[in-house]
A and B are shown apart, each in its own frame.
Chain A
């Protein structure tokens, strides 16, 4: 039996300290936590930085380093620092060394690097996944960061260095949990299925915010036990987690094969633990890893105005269309920009800013926010586009003969420079002859 402790869905989300103590006392073989995913958007990967504050990360990581020492087992983080670039692996490594020094502890640390050279990836044959954007080598080479998602093989290579702490770059959410059970000969279908159920911590149970769960793996299945006071896992909460952020609730692709849970049986062992058996692991003929990349799509400046005048609220579509046309003309005249090199958008908050053209409802709002988004190839140009937009958002009348209106600007200056806006580029897989071909390990004793 292999017992994996998952403290929460991600480092930075918090966990129940009392539940963690109980889980440590239960004797885990490994503590596994995720550091992030693509869910917060392309900017983190594009810049190679963490979404969470260093202070939050350090406070929670410190608690897990202490738990690891008490439990006497390895601690593994996957997708360190939200995006799992080399820079965020090193960022968390620095925090780790700092915490160990403060605690007076020593530990062997393995860093698993997953970052790829964009120029090299641009030359390789890649296979697009369903829904992938069309790419050319130039798009790929232009990425600021590309990572390959490590699977169980690479996480195990890191564990086999005898590391007490593994700081992994981008991994699949499941690999950090599945790796040890697979290495110890547990059923592979159970290992991947249990890992998927456990990857968000207590999200597969009641009281999801409590975080801490144990997943026990063996030859025939796995058992989920939530550790917070009053938290319960039921066949429903456990099986429903296969739906979560998953386009197919029965199939999950991983490096080296896929998980099929069509035949899985979920059984309540008591009022808080669930046993799962019957999941299948189907190995693939070739070993491939998924790639994620992000590049700068442009630089943006925002300008916001709030319209409280009922006449303008009622005629907002006309007002916006008129402003966009006049702004376009002024940009051409005064800046000499050609159409495809810049973009202006007005999002009407209170009307359809969330759903855009797909919105089916129309209400009668008291006020509307208008958010202008100006995009250009550099920040100075985007800011200039914003400055040309400013007088319209402040004073543009619906008709020539009405008194000049003035709308609410919440800020001075009205233009807010957003910096580079990134976009995801890759949704592709790359074949590897050996799982470690695209990955590097560095081991240090701190």
Chain B
């Protein structure tokens, strides 16, 4: 079982303001895009962040070979329980996801 990070170009997570997190999976090729787009469910991503799947926005952008997820930040940026001011570390959770 390959990890997602091994078949795509890059997984990036960034703040989209202090209250939202956005994760971009740059698949690189149509083939990788098709595979990622089919293999990953929104529920799976929500579970990684212990989030309600209903609040996770998903964009499958074939023109860019990108699958994008946005969700309320697991912790508000800079709050006492926040661990990552720029939110870049969360990308690892998706990059290390096992694909079927």
Secondary structure class of chain A's binding surface, majority of residues = mixed
> Known: A42-B78, A354-B83. Contact between A243 and B57, CB under 8 A?
no
For chain A, the count of residues having a C-beta within 8 Å of the partner chain is 42
B85 near A41 (CB under 8 angstroms)?
yes
A residues near B89, Cβ cutoff 8 Å: 354-355
Q: Which residues of B contact A345 (CB under 8 A)?
A: 80-81
A39 to B24 alpha-carbon distance, docked (Å): 17
Q: Total A-B residue pairs with C-beta atoms closer than 8 Å? A: 105
For the complex, give the distance between the alpha carbons of A133 and B79 in Å: 11
Q: Which residue of A lies closest to B18 (CB)?
A: A424
- Which among A129, A133, A353 is the interface contact of B83 at CB below 8 angstroms? A353
What A residues does B84 contact at CB under 8 A? Answer: 354-355
In the bound complex, what is the Cα–Cα distance between A283 and B77 (angstroms)? 30
Beyond A353-B83, A358-B49, A358-B50, whether A133 also contacts B19 by CB under 8 A is: yes
Q: Which of A176-196 contact B (CB under 8 A)?
A: none
Interface residues of B in 6-29 (CB under 8 A from A): 14-20, 22, 24, 26
Contacts of A245 in B (CB 8 A): 14-17, 22
Q: Contacting B86 at CB < 8 Å: which of A39, A42, A248, A373? A: A39
Are A247 and B76 neighbours in the complex by a CB distance under 8 Å? Answer: no
A272 interface contact, C-beta 8 A: no
Are B70 and A298 interface neighbours, CB within 8 A?
no
Task: A147 to B63: give the CA distance in the assembly, Å.
Answer: 37
Find out whether the CB atom of B63 lies under 8 angstroms from the CB atom of A239: yes
**A345 to B77 CA separation, bound complex (whole angstroms):** 17
Report yes or no: A358 in contact with B74, Cβ–Cβ below 8 A. yes
CB-CB contacts below 8 Å: B70-97 with A: 70, 72-74, 76-81, 83-86, 89-90, 92-93, 96
Do A249 and B61 touch (CB < 8 A)? Answer: yes
Pick from B50, B61, B72, B96: contact of A131, CB below 8 A: B72
Residues in B whose Cβ lies below 8 Å from that of A240: 26, 64, 66
Say yes or no: is A347 at the interface (Cβ < 8 Å to chain B). yes
A298:B19 contact, CB within 8 angstroms: no
Report B-chain residues with C-beta under 8 Å of the C-beta of A248.
57, 59, 70
9 more contacts with CB within 8 A, not counting A132-B19, A250-B59, A355-B90, are: A38-B15, A40-B85, A42-B18, A130-B72, A131-B20, A236-B64, A243-B68, A246-B16, A249-B59
Listed in ascending order, the chain A residues whose CB lies under 8 Å from chain B are 38-43, 129-133, 236, 239-240, 243-250, 297-298, 343, 345, 347, 353-358, 360-361, 373, 375, 421-424, 427
Point out residues on B near A: beta carbons under 8 Å: 14-20, 22, 24, 26, 48-50, 57, 59, 61, 63-64, 66, 68, 70, 72-74, 76-81, 83-86, 89-90, 92-93, 96
